[in-house]
Structure 1
Amino acid sequence: MGKSAVKGLFYICLIAATFVLATITIMAAFSGNVAPVDSVIMPLLGLAVPVLLIVNLITALCWALARKRWALIPLVAFFCNWGYLTSVFQLNLPKDKTPAGKYLKIATYNIHNFGGEITGYSCKEIARYMQQEGVDVLCFQEFGDNSDFPTDSIRRVLSHWSHALIPSEDSVKGVLPIAVFSRYPLANHRFITYQHSSNCSMMCDVVMGTDTIRLINNHLQTTSVSQKRRKWERELATDDTRREVQAAKDAAGTLHENFMKRATQTYVISHYAKTSPYPVLLCGDFNSIPSSYTYHHLRKTLKDGFRTAGNGYMYTYRYAKRMLRIDYIFHSPSLKGIAYYSPDLDLCSDHNPVIMEVEIQ
């Protein structure tokens, strides 16, 4: 086979690879519409969307530099994921506040047990920052203390928010604890646990004089990737093909099992939101990116606060090249989004907090 023939074959393979990449990316754009119970592949494709989009852009750039029309194929696939793109990039005009308006500012933060710090440094810094930002309600996930900095010390640091809901030790046994701190009274609280899961949710009403907001603080099923990653990496590093295949199957099976659990948990909190007699703020660490079934299902009845009031690029997980948005604040359509942002706080957690201000209409 001559050089020209080899070159031609390579060129055809590049075109074929471009079409395959574009097809997979377009399929991934619809992954959020497919329940995990109905497909193993689609949730995995949804998880890969950020990487797929970057690879499509690089492919389009390469074809464009070569001045080939094939650059349009990955660009079409890229923009087929417009729903995902607008969930991480937004340009909203600043909202004006009126003196007569009623406003509530809420923050959600997976604090990773305050990093297990014995001095309470991160807790104090979080309290200082949130008070400076004028936050009215704090929703924490992975809220844990230790013998050197117990719950009483945490309460004192967060005394600006005088109303607190912290589940008792008996109710959080075997569960990653969550908590709510508020400047306003909290009523009708309910702690929600899930079968075969260490994750949980908490529901309560924030009473602001004559107005009441139903608050649902969530920590949905963890991915379990961090706990098992080293094991999978060891298996994949071996020269044993069977062990490598088994590690890949185990990883896919673990991810799918957790997709299923998150979907079930999503149905539970969605039901509570739909049946609420009051406007709803639903927030927390959902362990789901915007291409996921969880995100799409919640958006059927609630609004994504970033879409209504955010600006710029949004991510909340500090690692993975800052490509993952997994923490959210959703709200009822009757609440007006005023501001939504995620400050880059380098403290005790691998997450950033998310802060939103709403107007009660």
Structure 2
Amino acid sequence: MKKLKLIDKVIWIANILAATMLVLSYSLPFIAPKKFAFLSVLSLAVPLLIVLNILFLVYWLLTVKRQLLMSLLVLVIGYSYVFSLYKFSASKNIEDVENISVMNYNVRLFNLFKWIPATSIKQQIVDFIADKQPDILSMQEYRPDESVNLKGYYKYEELSGQKVKNGQAIFSKYPIIHSGSIEFPNTANNAIYVDIVKHKDTIRIYNVHLQSLGINPANEKLDMETSENLIKRVGTVFRLQQSQTELFLEHKKRCRYKMIICGDFNNTAYSYVYKEIKGDLKDAFVEAGNGFGRTFKFKFFPVRIDFILVDEAFTINGFKTFDIELSDHYPIMTKVKLN
């Protein structure tokens, strides 16, 4: 370090800090937020830490300095994290008559409170869904509306709220033979499920909406909030998410059917709750997607908090994230086939 110029010394110190934080973040999926909530907050910064370490690696490579070895080693150790952030391969898209198309979409109350100035957002969402015609549609922040007329679907919804009834819904082109809700205490969030029948197979579809972080990507108050308050608030939410995940997993382990889990986890693929819910399931984006796969409109870096997970009974034949700004979330859709 003595041979480095002053500017390089400053960059090297920043590099050490970013590399150390990224290495620390590798342990986060195994650390329960109830025990170390302040550490869990770091999971939100993992995409930024990955990008920073790549930039440091490129800088030292261009200046031909051996300091490049630090970020290179850290990125190699966490290669699965890097490829979970960005998929370099092309999207998989295999057409098959036995494919089941599954869409997940947080519709943000169909723009009820005019977060997006356009007047036709609700109709655009309905038109988009009608155009894509998913066999299964899982919605979060859904509200019933007579003008939201999705034809050809069976439906199960679970709603709460006084002034504005809203919640989760699952639409299915296949008959629903059973349905229910997993209530999360002291919150409007919950998980719902339906059992559908395709041919002679019964399939369980879950729609999971974990506690929200309360981060509005367009809200300038986020920039003004002190780091101490933000960490405290997010830590509290992550502890709630862990409790909600535990309730969901208790229900899930009693399911004897093949299953697909959709939802807005309000947390990243680097989090404890994602690891716990995913378990041995396959992440449709990881298996068949490409690019960043961002599902939430966050101005600082790409964030993937909406997921479709399927068990080993399915082959994943396709995945797509739709780049349409009709909500603060982007819809995702996968094609799966029963083995």
Distance in 2 (alpha carbons) for counterparts of 1:6 and 1:98: 61
Matched, 1:115 2:111: yes
The size of the alignment, in residue pairs, is 333
Alpha-carbon distance, 1:18 to partner: 2.6
Matched, 1:63 2:53: no
Look up the match of 2:151. 159
Give the AA of the match of 1:167. E
Cα distance, 1:84–1:164 mapped onto 2, change above 3 Å: same
Give the AA of the match of 2:123. K
SS at match of 1:350: coil
Distance in 2 (alpha carbons) for counterparts of 1:272 and 1:320: 36
- Cα RMSD between the aligned structures? 2.8
Look up the match of 1:352. 330
Cα distance, 1:128–1:186 mapped onto 2, change above 3 Å: same
Distance in 2 (alpha carbons) for counterparts of 1:125 and 1:15: 49
What are the equivalent positions in structure 2 for 1:180-259 lying under 5 Å apart? 180-226=170-216, 233-234=223-224, 247-259=226-238
SS at match of 1:164: strand
SS at match of 2:291: strand
Structure 2, unaligned stretches of length 5 or more?
none
Matched, 1:280 2:259: yes
Distance in 1 (alpha carbons) for counterparts of 2:214 and 2:46: 19
Q: Contact (CA 8 Å) 2:182, 2:248: kept in 1 or not?
A: no
Alpha-carbon distance, 1:83 to partner: 2.2
Answer with 1 or 2: which has the greater Rg. Answer: 1
Q: 1:343 aligns with which of 308, 322, 337?
A: 322
Structure 1, unaligned stretches of length 5 or more?
146-150, 237-246
Cα distance, 1:117–1:209 mapped onto 2, change above 3 Å: farther
What are the equivalent positions in structure 2 for 1:68-107 lying under 5 Å apart? 68-90=65-87, 91=89, 94=92, 96-99=94-97, 102-107=98-103
- Determine which structure has the larger helix proportion and give its number: 1
The percentage of counterpart residues that share the same residue type is 25
Cα distance, 1:53–1:321 mapped onto 2, change above 3 Å: same
Alpha-carbon distance, 1:353 to partner: 0.5
Give the AA of the match of 1:105. S
Alpha-carbon distance, 1:354 to partner: 0.9
Distance in 2 (alpha carbons) for counterparts of 1:117 and 1:226: 14
Q: 1:307 aligns with which of 282, 286, 293?
A: 286
Q: After superposing the two structures, state which structure 1 stretch, 223-232 or 298-307, moved more.
A: 223-232
Cα distance, 1:92–1:307 mapped onto 2, change above 3 Å: farther
Distance in 2 (alpha carbons) for counterparts of 1:291 and 1:141: 22
Cα distance, 1:353–1:98 mapped onto 2, change above 3 Å: closer
Give the AA of the match of 1:110. N
TM-score, normalised with respect to structure 2: 0.88
TM-score, normalised with respect to structure 1: 0.83
Alpha-carbon distance, 1:271 to partner: 2.9
Alpha-carbon distance, 1:120 to partner: 8.1
Q: After superposing the two structures, state which structure 1 stretch, 26-35 or 77-86, moved more.
A: 77-86
Q: Contact (CA 8 Å) 1:176, 1:200: kept in 2 or not?
A: no
Cα distance, 1:176–1:33 mapped onto 2, change above 3 Å: farther
SS at match of 2:312: coil
Q: After superposing the two structures, state which structure 1 stretch, 351-360 or 297-306, moved more.
A: 297-306
Matched, 1:129 2:122: no
Cα distance, 1:265–1:69 mapped onto 2, change above 3 Å: same
Q: Contact (CA 8 Å) 1:316, 1:322: kept in 2 or not?
A: no
